[in-house]
Amino acid sequence: MVPSLEEDRLNKPYEEVIHLADLIQKGCSNARGDDTKGLKGAIIDWISPPGEDLNPRLARNIKSDRGFHHPRTGGLLCPVDLNWSNEEIKTKLRNQEINTVGDQWPMFLFEDSRYDPDDPWKGLFRSHLLVTAYKYIFTSPSSVDKEPKATKSGNARIHGMTQVTLASIAYVATQVRFALSSMSTFSRTDCVLDSERFYLSILELFDDVDEQQEVNDLVSWWNSDRMLNKNDTVHSNIKAKRAALKALTRNVSAGTSSQHIS
């Protein structure tokens, strides 16, 4: 992102290095703030029934009624180890008699909000809500429409991103979790959402050496959707088919290895 930054750091006075670091941190904070502000209203459209309002309705600019206070956002935020259909659980979550922590992952991370305890990877990080938010942040807000309109370049193109990264998936998941919550101010160290722990727990899974086959399949899945390239070109199709073939080859090799071991 910043060419020759390491070389500059070694050749510049300490005060200039600190100033540069402050500028980079400020830029990151401003970008995160823009993403948070944008998702605040947009996410209401994504979680509402097509052509209808939520019941009860949710305001786009006020978050106090979100989180576990609303049946829709509460169901999406409910940790997979709790039963949102249980009225006692709902009440305790709303009253904070049950406090959730960052490594209790919510249902919205899973495709169709369905968690299979016998196959925890099934649908994980493949939800429509997560994909929509990713496109909104890294491609452009208009890219989530069925008929995208011409607009300015998205963050991915501006910063030279050509593939979906694991860290960016964790980042978007953290932003979506905050947008669904009733918290008004984003803080990585807040004690209610425990956002930093949530983000780091996702990265910890992605870095786990024992989970690399599933992680690689996940990356292939995201990139086969050509998230960062809206143009259906010959080149993009070739790359997508190659990624799918690699994923298939890994699965076949893993199955063959298992037969030899048994």
For the stretch 232-253, pLDDT in tens is 556 656 665 666 566 666 555 5
Q: What is the pLDDT of residue 134?
A: 94
Greatest mean pLDDT among 82-91, 132-141, 188-197 lies in: 82-91
Tokens representing 215 are: 């992680």
Q: What is the pLDDT of residue 224?
A: 83
User: What is the rounded average pLDDT for all residues in the chain?
Assistant: 80
pLDDT band at 190 (very low <50, low <70, confident <90, very high): confident
Q: Which residue has the tokens 């997508």?
A: 240
Report DSSP state, residue 49: P
Higher model confidence: residue 232 or residue 129? 129
Q: What is the pLDDT of residue 213?
A: 97
Q: How many angstroms separate the CA atoms of 53 and 127, rounded?
A: 21
Q: Is the pLDDT of residue 122 over 90?
A: yes
Q: How many angstroms separate the CA atoms of 17 and 144, rounded?
A: 39
DSSP per-residue codes, 93-137? HHTTSS---TTS-BGGGBGGG---TTSTTTTBT--HHHHHHHIII
Lowest model confidence (mean pLDDT) among 35-39, 66-70, 167-171: 35-39
Give SS3 for 57. coil
| Count of other CB atoms within 10 angstroms of residue 90 | 20
Q: Is the pLDDT of residue 194 over 60?
A: yes
Q: What is the pLDDT of residue 17?
A: 47
Q: How many angstroms separate the CA atoms of 29 and 23, rounded?
A: 10
Q: How many angstroms separate the CA atoms of 254 and 152, rounded?
A: 43
Higher model confidence: residue 36 or residue 157? 36
Q: Is the pLDDT of residue 257 over 70?
A: no
Tokens representing 222 are: 């995201």
Mean local confidence (pLDDT), 130-142: 88
